Amino acid sequence: MHGPAGTESRTDPHWRDGPWQKAGQRLTAHRPAAAGLTVLAALMLAVAAGLVAGGGPVGAALAAGHQSLSFTLLAGLGGAALGLLWAAAAVALGERAERAMMAPAAALTGLPLALALPLVGGLLGPQRGLAPMVMVAALIAAPAVAVIARDELRALLRREFLSAAQAAGIPNGRRLRRHILPNAVLPLAAAAWTALPRALMAESLASLLGLGLPAGVTGWGTAIGAAARAGDAVALAGPALLLALTLWALHGVGDGMRLAFATAFSTTAGGRR
Amino acid sequence: MSGADVIGPDDRSPLRVEGLSLLTSRDILLDRLSFAVEPGEVLALSGAAGAGKTLLLRALSGLAPKGVTVLGDIHIQGRRILVTQDGALDPLRTIGAQFTELLAHQSGMDERTALRCAAEALERFQVPAAARRLALHPHELGEAMRWRAALALAMAAEPALLLADAPAAALDPTQRVRLLSDLAAWTREAGTALLLAGRPQPDPIQADPVPSGLADRRLILAQGRLEAPEEEPTPAPPPVEPAPSGPPILSVRDLRVAFPLGRSWRGAERWLTVVDGLSIALAEGETLALLGETGSGKSVLARAILRLVPPVGGQVSWLGTDLAAAPPEAMRRARGDLQILFPDPLAAFDPLMTIGAQFAETLESLRPSRSTAQSAAQSTADRAARLAEALEEVGLPAAVLDLHPGSLRPAEAARAGLARALLPEPRLLVCDEPAATLDGSERADFLALLQAIRRRRRLALLYATQDAAEGLGIARRALVLLLGRIVESADSVVLATGARHPYSRALIAAAGLDRPALHGDPPSPLRPPTGCPLRLRCPLAHDGCAQVPPTLDPVAPGHRVACHVAQDSAQEDGKAP
Ligand code: SF4
């Protein structure tokens, strides 16, 4: 018998690693993702350090980064949660409801939603609070997350191992807990991540126009807008650079996650085809 | 595609290779290959996945990848053309434009002549209305038509050497073998040397194409070296097993599976019928092959029997219990008896759980340990022993229990899948192309193992496959399926030598690499033709075939066919003394 005997020499030194490790390896093997992760970590540290040290144009840019990043994180998490709920509900409620729920999401992703934030900012006027702005930014990010998450969930539900679980007589509840949910984590994380760059984009655009973060809170967009109006190139460079870098890093990590996780857990990605 | 003119010292072979080695800094990829191809010769190149077939073809066409050193001599006389695995055509231009450019560039033909040449080239592959297709873009053609166009384009360039890397690998056997036979006939006639590489999947070129006349010679590449083709022992005919008697354990009556396609613009519900009123009965220990190609419904049928896809009509009963109406507890008991092997065994394991955990889950679900008297520790130990035993039965070490599916190779995954299916000690094993991901010797080993286990455990077997030779070799009886209906049913022995339905004949011919007699491409399942579903491809079709769909009627004891012509000729045979 020719040996399919488990453990003979294989060229890949990591062949024995578990699926989570392999997903991590795939993510960091994607250059922009690895670079993006490093940049984001460095940026967080720098912002934290800048808050302590402060002062000067660099300190100001980092302090503005604190506001922008906090806003992004809040709005992004909110948008991701909304989008995931949207998709999960659509898939769970059956085909007809799914079509009815996903059609508006797909239509919304086609619109330049980022413009809605300055619009709302203008309507609310200068006395606007932070919370409504976060909420609107979350709403802006949600439809895209919902569309991607729905596609991932559909693809997951078609996977063969769920048929195998059914053939093994595993009841639906247990199938959901043991097989569907764990396998949904990474693809859905990749879907959720897309909310972050969207929220940052929308906030920066609105703040640039002076219609984003409320008065007294200075984000990168606010700083760029102010510097542009004052014609101060030096003050403009810092926040503009940091904003561009952050957006690039967020996108890089997002791409990496999509490549590494969306197909990650289909074992067919492991070499054949 | 690339042209090259390398002149060997007065040697007529279009291709002569001497001591060709391909090296990277770490590995020897190909090791001192020497061979030649004569004009008009067809050489088949086979070998397992990763043996270096694609690499060799690329090196021969001067496209060796970066970082690979080429040593040795490649003498090529005349033009060489490589057709890659995807049969690359320029997606942005029409087929006609691609022909015109090639022919104008090469022989200064004007557009009208070039288009006429192109149409003639397509007609060699029996493309109907070839001139009209020249106005289409590649994406407007079906897969089969695209391959015909790609190969016709390559041949229109009049190469001295055509290198084809796993051409048309995704097509169904009846289409593919026909295409390859047409190509081989053309290259022989034109005096072109043809080097045909197989692909690692189950592939006719992997089987020996020489006896059927498809290829003249065969080279086998193994671990970077050429091996002499060994005399393959003719597979021993399957031991004639007595027809299992007794009442059927599984009986399927008028099963219908259809998927909703939404509504048409008039508001009528549209359905895609995949399995159309099928009936099967299977006795204890009986083996039945379901033969059919893409869209035949064999794999949906396999799943509908296990209720993995809900049927819209008909009945599946197991030991007299109707599974559709069975309460959950009875259904679970039936699931222990009915197990399935999936076409991609790796994908049938949850990637996040170890093999051991999934085995334990299956066992716990289908054969829960009831022994309350035993201590928990002891029953756990028992369970572990049982899992290791299951792996041993399929030839895997117990260490596999701790691995995740991602660490398994296809052959191991196939065996692990078999071990999992055997855990609950089933009585019927439904196989849906279980060896589809394996090739060569791994495939043969797996099938031999499956056969041995089936005999030992006296399992009933339902084996769905598109490879007629494989199905007929494994099962005692066979059904040929076409568009969700049975077109022929007989004992395998009868079918292998005396199939009567034109589609069964084509399927069996393709498995033996003989040119199937069906023309054209399969009809869309959304708009099947009226009357006989094979009508548009059938060489025997007459007017009556379009009007009355043939019914499945006996032509001999135990042999039923759904074909007007076959039934008529059987009647005449019957009348003749
Ligand atoms: S019924 Fe007619 S079309 Fe159908 S297979 Fe027989 S001869 Fe061909």
Exposed / middle / buried, residue B195 (Cβ in 10 Å: 0-12, 13-18, 19+): buried
Tokens 């320029």 — which residue? B90
CA distance B103 to B121: 12
**What does the pLDDT read at residue B375?**
66
**What does the pLDDT read at residue A237?**
85
pLDDT tens, B466-479?
Answer: 989 889 989 999 99
DSSP state of B327: -
**What does the pLDDT read at residue B70?**
87
Least confidently predicted of B66-70, B352-356, B477-481: B66-70
- What pTM was computed for the model? 0.84
pLDDT band, residue B494 (cuts 50/70/90): very high
**What does the pLDDT read at residue B238?**
56
Contact B281, B298 (CB under 8 A): no
Residue B532, amino acid: C
Domains of chain B by residue range: 3-227, 282-307+322-368+389-482
Contact B313, B254 (CB under 8 A): yes
**What does the pLDDT read at residue B221?**
82
Exposed / middle / buried, residue B371 (Cβ in 10 Å: 0-12, 13-18, 19+): exposed
CA distance B213 to B168: 19
Least confidently predicted of B47-56, B183-192, B248-257, B356-365: B47-56
Mean pLDDT score, B203-216: 68
Q: Which residues, 6+ apart, have CB-to-CB distance to B459 below 8 Å?
A: B285, B426, B427, B428, B429, B453
Strand ranges in B166-222 using DSSP code E only, listed in sequence order: 193-197, 217-222
A and B: number of Cβ contacts within 8 A: 104
Instruction: Report the atom number in ligand 1 closest to the C-alpha of B565.
Output: 7
Topology classification of domain B282-307+322-368+389-482:
Rossmann fold (3.40.50)
Q: Which helix (H) or strand (E) holds B453?
A: helix B440-457
Q: What is the ipTM of this complex?
A: 0.83
Residue percentage of chain B with pLDDT more than 70? 90
pLDDT band, residue B230 (cuts 50/70/90): low
Mean pLDDT score, B145-151: 89
Q: B282-307+322-368+389-482: same fold as B3-227?
A: yes
Least confidently predicted of B156-170, B173-187, B210-224, B428-442: B210-224
Give just the sign of the alpha carbon dihedral B38, B41, B42, B47.
negative
User: In whole angstroms, how large is the CA radius of gyration of chain A?
Assistant: 22
The CA–CA distances, whole Å, from B410 to A18, B431, B443, B464 equal 17, 16, 10, 19
**What does the pLDDT read at residue B239?**
56
What is the second-level CATH architecture of the domain B3-227?
Answer: 3-Layer(aba) Sandwich (3.40)
Q: Is the pLDDT of residue B552 over 80?
A: yes
Contacts of A22 in chain B (CB under 8 A): 406
Task: Pick from B500, B519, B565 the residue to mutate for probing ligand 1's pocket: most ligand atoms within 8 Å of its CB.
Answer: B565
CB contact, 8 Å: B445 with chain A?
Answer: yes
CB contact, 8 Å: B411 with chain A?
Answer: yes
Q: Is A8 a domain residue?
A: no
CA distance B456 to B450: 10
Contact B507, B470 (CB under 8 A): no
pLDDT tens, B253-309?
Answer: 999 999 888 777 777 778 888 998 899 999 988 999 999 998 889 999 999 999 999
Contact B155, B147 (CB under 8 A): no
Q: Is A54 a domain residue?
A: no
Mean pLDDT score, B157-182: 87
Mean pLDDT score, B173-192: 89
Q: Is A95 a domain residue?
A: yes
CB contact, 8 Å: B16 with chain A?
Answer: no
Q: Is the pLDDT of residue B4 over 80?
A: no
**What does the pLDDT read at residue B404?**
92
CB contact, 8 Å: B24 with chain A?
Answer: no
**What does the pLDDT read at residue B486?**
93
pLDDT band, residue B343 (cuts 50/70/90): very high
Tokens of A241: 């650079």
Residue-number span of the structural domain to which A148 is assigned? 18-49+60-268
Mean pLDDT in each 10-residue stretch from start to end of chain A (273 residues)? 44 78 89 92 87 74 86 94 94 87 89 86 83 90 93 91 93 92 93 93 88 82 87 84 92 91 50 32
Nearest to B17 by CA among B25, B4, B29, B8: B8
Q: Is A5 a domain residue?
A: no
CA distance A49 to A61: 12
DSSP B353-387: S-HHHHHHHHHHHHS----SSS-HHHHHHHHHHHH
Mean pLDDT score, B508-516: 86
pLDDT band, residue B3 (cuts 50/70/90): very low
Instruction: Report the atom number in ligand 1 closest to the C-alpha of B535.
Output: 3
Q: Is the pLDDT of residue B204 over 80?
A: no
Nearest to B406 by CA among A254, A24, A259: A24
Measure in Å the smallest separation between the Cα of A184 and chain B Cα atoms: 11
Mean pLDDT score, B141-155: 88
CA distance A45 to B202: 55
Number of domains in chain A: 1
Tokens of B533: 């579903």
Q: Measured between CB atoms, which of A2, A169, A267 is closest to B335?
A: A169
Mean pLDDT score, B158-187: 87
A39 CA from centroid of ligand 1 (Å) = 68
**What does the pLDDT read at residue B357?**
93
Least confidently predicted of B174-188, B239-253, B388-402, B509-523: B239-253
Give just the sign of the alpha carbon dihedral B141, B143, B149, B153.
positive
Measure in Å the smallest separation between the Cα of B91 and chain A Cα atoms: 22
Contacts 24+ apart (CB under 8 A), B31-36: B31/B224, B31/B225, B32/B72, B32/B225, B33/B72, B33/B225, B33/B226, B34/B226, B35/B219, B35/B226
Instruction: Characterise B162 by phi-psi region: left (phi > 0), alpha (psi -120 to 50), beta (else).
Output: beta
Measure in Å the smallest separation between the Cα of A142 and chain B Cα atoms: 28
**What does the pLDDT read at residue B11?**
64
In terms of CA atoms, which chain B residue is nearest residue A96? B262
Mean pLDDT for chain B?
85
**What does the pLDDT read at residue A239?**
87
Contact B38, B193 (CB under 8 A): yes
**What does the pLDDT read at residue B351?**
92
pLDDT tens, B32-52?
Answer: 888 888 888 888 888 776 678
DSSP state of B548: S
Mean pLDDT score, B546-554: 90
CB contact, 8 Å: A183 with chain B?
Answer: yes
Residue B262, amino acid: G
Whether A164 and B349 lie within 8 Å, measured CB to CB: yes
B466 CA from centroid of ligand 1 (Å) = 20
Domain CATH for A203: 1.10.3720.10
**What does the pLDDT read at residue A52?**
74
Chain mean position to CA B18? 35
SS3 B222: strand
